[in-house]
Structure 1
Amino acid sequence: MFASLARRSAVNVAESIKHLLPKDLPPSLVSKPGNLYEVLSRTPSGGVGKKVFQLRWQNKAIKDSYWVVTRSKFKCEGVHGKAWGHLYWKGKPVSQKEERIPGALKYTWAEGSS
């Protein structure tokens, strides 16, 4: 008897607070590929030191190409911002200096290397 009453109470509480919970998670908590800022904002360090790559590189069979992020700034809950890093193309460093990462909003990005 007490078990069924407790179960009913839990269901009632869950129903009563359902409207308080967000319907969609913010981009910073979604664990799927997205634009560069969404991918980087999911990490505690803002992506500093992480390898990231454009998914289209993988589709074009471009192997071992990625950016190593050196710094980032986010706005709009991690959907927009700026990011800088060093490019490695087919395993070889391309940029000696830190440079702004292009195509951050235009393409789909993921962590790792292609």
Structure 2
Amino acid sequence: MRASLPLLTRALLRSQLSTPALLASLSNPHATLPQLLASLPSSGVGAKIRQRRWAAKGLDVPAGQALSGPIPREERAQAGEAGCYWLVTRTQLKQGGKHGKAWGRLVWRGKQVTPSDREEQIRGGLKYVWERA
């Protein structure tokens, strides 16, 4: 079996297994919104979360910048936090985090879309893969 894996793939797997944070994310790569919130303190209230596909689409750009493509990971790390995320204000989790609902305020490309005095339900919780922003 080992001979069938290319040398580069084996080296990549070994390098990823040496980092605990990456290992934790690899053990459950498909986190639904309720699963992610259940793993956070206070059931995720106050956390910044986003759909993983937003970063893949290159939406982590400031509001004034054109969407010409994804920004390299190094530039995103220098810029700071993600530009598109939900700020969770309330959760209602069921069955130990397998199901549930969440409410929050949407920040899109650095600008808050949801008014500060209200919250809206976060849609697509079971449909998409979610991560911390």
TM-score between the two structures when normalised by the length of structure 1: 0.69
Distance (Å, rounded) in 2 between the aligned partners of 1:40 and 1:33: 13
Deviating above 4 A after TM superposition, structure 1's stretches of 4 or more consecutive aligned residues are 30-33
**1:107 match:** 128
TM-aligned CA deviation for residue 32 of structure 1 = 4.8
| Residues 1:49 and 1:33: Cα distance change in structure 2 (over 3 Å) | farther
Matched, 1:71 2:90: yes
Unaligned runs of 5+ in 2: 1-26, 61-82
Distance (Å, rounded) in 1 between the aligned partners of 2:51 and 2:119: 18
Question: Given residue 52 of structure 1, which amino acid in structure 2 is its aligned partner?
Answer: I
TM-aligned CA deviation for residue 79 of structure 1 = 1.1
Spell out, residue by residue over 1:71-111, the C-alpha distance to the aligned partner (whole angstroms, 9 max, x if none).
10111110100100000000000011200000000000001
Secondary structure, aligned partner of 1:45:
helix
Report how many residues are paired: 83
Secondary structure, aligned partner of 2:55:
helix
**1:54 match:** 51
Q: Aligned residues: percent identity?
A: 46
Distance (Å, rounded) in 1 between the aligned partners of 2:29 and 2:56: 17
Distance (Å, rounded) in 1 between the aligned partners of 2:95 and 2:109: 33
Spell out, residue by residue over 1:24-75, the C-alpha distance to the aligned partner (whole angstroms, 9 max, x if none).
xxxxxx7655001100101120100000000010110001100000010111
TM-score between the two structures when normalised by the length of structure 2: 0.59
Question: Given residue 92 of structure 2, which amino acid in structure 1 is its aligned partner?
Answer: K
1:7-86 mapped onto 2 (5 Å cutoff): 32=29, 34-63=31-60, 64-86=83-105
Q: Whose radius of gyration is greater, 1 or 2?
A: 1
Distance (Å, rounded) in 1 between the aligned partners of 2:132 and 2:30: 8
* CA RMSD after TM alignment: 1.3
Distance (Å, rounded) in 2 between the aligned partners of 1:33 and 1:98: 26
Distance (Å, rounded) in 2 between the aligned partners of 1:102 and 1:80: 13
Decide which structure has greater helix share. 2
Unaligned runs of 5+ in 1: 1-29
